[in-house]
Amino acid sequence: ALQASFVPNIKPRQRFPNQLQPRASTYKVAILGAAGGIGQPLALLIKMSPLVSDLHLYDIANVKGVAADLSHCNTPSQVLDFTGPSELANCLKGMDVVVIPAGVPRKPGMTRDDLFNINANIVKTLVEAVADNCPDAFIHIISNPVNSTVPIAVEVLKQKGVYDPKKLFGVTTLDVVRANTFVAEKKNLKLIDVDVPVVGGHAGITILPLLSKTRPSVTFTDAEVEELTVRIQNGGTEVVEAKAGAGSATLSMAYAAARFVESSLRALDGDGDVYECCFVQSELTELPFFASRVKLGKKGVEAVLSADLQGLTEYEAKALEALKPELKASIEKGVAFVQKQA
Ligand code: NAI
């Protein structure tokens, strides 16, 4: 399989050796919320993927220009724009992967849960359309609060009779990206080598980086563990405060989401060595959904890996127990939102 990467210092010619005769650009990807702060840079990164043949951009406004702009990049994929609910079905037909970053972002002082009322409805409506038009697609949910929007998506897919737990993902890649970056900085490690699994959910204390499982193996003092854990959990807030009212993480999120899309496409393409942390239906704990490392394959989640949760440090084991009530409540809130309306 073609090795795609987002390493920035590769020359275009090296990056796309098959540009004239694309060998593997066969996958169709849609972004719902494509004109937004995440959607635009995410669309650009996906436009750079040699694995993509069609890139469909959907939003309720302002997406025509984004698509026109991107369509001038001489990479294999064809970019099409779709505006408003009347064009949503056409956007979705035949898609392999649907990424959903539609919704409102946080402002200073807001938690991810404060976004619930607006984003819950948006995700519900969009997932209904996915169920009707491309029920076999991988669905990547970015819209917050992910701990609740994923259960919302599940309920919608169940109501439509097309729920496949292997193909629905809450995107937590940014937590892993942050953990890798912060650990590499703190320990003077080569960034590219560092891999920290992050489990649990995607909000506050439900984000649990398992620093003891960092690869390459590295030791931390108790104070470092505390400082790094809190920084990774609050990475989103760091950005929200720095942007001072102008939104939340968009560029790093786009990077993280593009990595998750690329991993999904490599898995679809038959690469047997694709692992990512994400928020999925899970039996690892007593909670119905849980983020952990999973193996991705052609049909979606091939295995939810349990190894990371074995041999936890005392700090990690305590943090795991402490996050469960909040994560459980967020999951139940999402389920109740859909069931109330049924
Ligand atoms: P944004 O406001 O810049 O963009 C959102 C886009 O969604 C806008 O273009 C808007 O027109 C569109 N939109 C609104 N309603 C829609 C609908 N019904 N159908 C289609 N599109 C619709 O927001 P931004 O910064 O791009 O954030 C998007 C979401 O991603 C937020 O919920 C944010 O909290 C979440 N997020 C998730 C992260 C994660 O790690 N999973 C990290 C950062 C943000």
pLDDT in tens, the chain (342 residues): 344 454 343 333 444 444 444 456 799 999 999 999 999 999 999 999 999 999 999 999 999 999 999 999 999 999 999 999 999 999 999 999 999 999 999 989 999 999 999 999 999 999 999 999 999 999 999 999 999 999 999 999 999 999 999 999 999 999 999 999 999 999 999 999 899 999 999 999 999 999 999 999 999 999 999 999 999 999 999 999 999 999 999 999 999 999 999 999 999 999 999 999 999 999 999 999 999 999 999 999 999 999 999 999 999 999 999 999 999 999 999 999 999 988
Question: Are 43 and 257 spatial neighbours (Cβ–Cβ below 8 Å)?
Answer: no
Question: Are 233 and 204 spatial neighbours (Cβ–Cβ below 8 Å)?
Answer: yes
ipTM confidence: 0.99
Those residues whose C-beta lies under 8 Å from the C-beta of residue 283, and which sit 6 or more positions away, are 304
Mutation choice for ligand 1 from 56, 178, 248, CB with most ligand atoms inside 8 A: 248
First to last CA, the chain: 44
Distance of CA 118 to the CA centre of its chain: 19
Ligand 1 atom closest to 39 (CA):
26
Question: Are 141 and 150 spatial neighbours (Cβ–Cβ below 8 Å)?
Answer: yes
Which helix (H) or strand (E) segment is 238 a member of? helix 235-243
Compute the distance from residue 112 Cα to the ligand 1 centre, in Å: 12
| Residue linked to tokens 């990479």 | 75
* Residue with CA nearest ligand 1 atom 25: 37
CA distance 55 to 71: 10
CA dihedral (147, 150, 152, 154) positive or negative = negative
Residue 39, SS3?
A: helix
Count Cβ atoms below 10 Å from residue 186 Cβ, excluding itself: 15
CA distance 46 to 77: 9
Residue 85 main-chain phi, psi, to 5 deg: -50, -30
Mutation choice for ligand 1 from 31, 44, 60, CB with most ligand atoms inside 8 A: 60
Distance of CA 214 to the CA centre of its chain: 21
CA distance 95 to 102: 17
